Amino acid sequence: LPSHLQGEMASAPRLASLLGLLLTLPLGPHGLRPQALRMSARERASPTRLRRNALNRAAIPPPFPTRVAVLGGGSFGLAMASVVGRKDIPTTVLMRGEEDVEYFNKHKEHPRYLQGIKMPNAVRATADPAAALRDATYVIHAVPVQHSRKFLTEVEHLMPPGAPVLSTSKGIETSTLQLMTDILHDTLGPHRSTAYLSGPSFAAEIAQGLATAVTIASSDPILADDFAAIVSSDSFRAYTTPDVVGVEVGGAVKNVIALAAGMSEGLGLGTNAMAGLVTRGCWEMRRVAMALGAQPSTLMGLSGVGDTFGTCFGPLSRNRGLGVRLGRGEKLDDALKCMGGVAEGVPTAFALRDLVKRVDNSYRLDLKFPIIFGVSDILEGKLEPREGLQNLMMMPIRAEMIDALH
C-alpha cells in the first residue's frame, strides 16, 4: 500500500476491510485468476483444488447488497423465504393472488400454506412479477416442475441481468423428459448462472427453524458457495457439489420411490418389506443417474439416499401419503383431490419410465427398473398396488447387484 495512503487507511477501517476484500477477489477474464487460465479443465475441477478454493472463498461474502426474489408462494417457496429472511436479507415472495398478498403482508403468514408459522419481518409478498424481480440480486425458483417452463417464459424479460437462479423444483417435465437444468437453459438462456437445491427438506420443518441439511449443485463452484452462504445458518446447512445431474435425478426419482413405499405401508406389508423396497429403489435411482452421466457417489449423499429416506419414511411427505391412500384402495383421482399440495411423484413416474426407455437400450428393462415401471403401471390403472408389490416378490432370483456381473 502506498505510504501516503497508510495513515488514511488506519483511520478508515471499513475502507481498509473493503480493499482487503477486493484484493482477494478473482482477477482476469471470466472471473479467473491468470494462473487459473493456464490450468487444464481437469486441474481446475480436481477435488483437492475445489476444496482448497472453497476454503479460500469461505470468508468472502456474496455481493452487497443482497436482495432475494422467491418465485412461487407455495409451501417450499415460503420455507426458503423464511430461511433467507431470518438472516435479515430483504426477500420478496411472488404469489399469485392479491388477496393472499394482502393477508401475508398484514399477518406475516400465508392463509393456506404453512398456517400458523410467522415469516420474518424481512419477507414481504407481491403478485407483480416486475416488482418482485426489479432489484433482486439473487432469485430462488420454487414453482413446480410441470409449470416452470410456461412461468419462466413469461417472466424471462423481467429477470435482472446477471442475477443467478437457485432452483428448488424437483421432477422431470412430462412433455419433454427434461430436468430443471434443461428448462432453465431453454427459458432463461445459456448465459444465466444457475444452481440446484435438493435434500431431505420438508417445508414445515424448515419454516419452524428445525435442523435441515441440503445440497446445492452448480457447474460454477463459486456460485454454489455464494448460494450456500446466503441460505446457511445454525439451523439450515447447505453443502455443495458440481454434480448437477446427480442432484436433480435424486430429487426426482425419490418421489416415485416414496409412492411405492407409501403403497407398501397402506397395504400393511411391514417394515421389512418397506426397507427392502426403498433399498432397491435407491439402486434403480443410481442406475438412472449413471445413465445420464451423474456420479454414483452423489446418490449416496443428501440429495440421493438422504432425500429418499426423508420422503419415504417422513410423515410430512405428500408422495408417501398419496401412496398410503392408494395402498388402502383409494382411486388416484380421489386421493389427489384430498391432498393439500402437489405430489410431483405422479407426473414424474410417467416421465421417468419414458426417460429410462430413452437412455437405456439394454435388455429387459422391466427386470432392471421394476419399481419405476411398476409404480407407473399402478398409477395408470394397469395393476393394483398389491399386484405390483407381489410382482416384485416374484422377480427371478439373481445377483443383488446386477452391475457386479459386468
Chain center to CA of 312:
17
3-state helix, strand, coil in the chain (%, to 5): 55, 10, 35
Evaluate whether 307 touches 344 at the Cβ level (below 8 Å). no
CB 241 within 8 A of CB 217: yes
Q: Buried b vs exposed e over 282-318: b needs ≥16 C-beta within 10 Å?
A: bbbbbbbbbbeebbeebbebbbbbbbbbbbbbeeebb
Catalytic residue among 87, 108, 170, 254: 254
- For 345, the enclosing helix (H) or strand (E) is helix 345-359
Residues 123, 82 contacting (CB under 8 angstroms):
yes
| Contact yes or no for 263/327 (Cβ under 8 A) | yes
Residue with cell 435424486: 250
- Taking the CA atoms of residue 91, residue 95, residue 99 and residue 103 in that order, the dihedral angle to the nearest 10 degrees is -30
Pairing of strands 194-198, 212-217: antiparallel
Residue 357 designated active-site: no
Residue 213 φ then ψ, to 5°: -125, 135
| H-run or E-run covering 320 | helix 318-327
What residues act catalytically?
A: 254
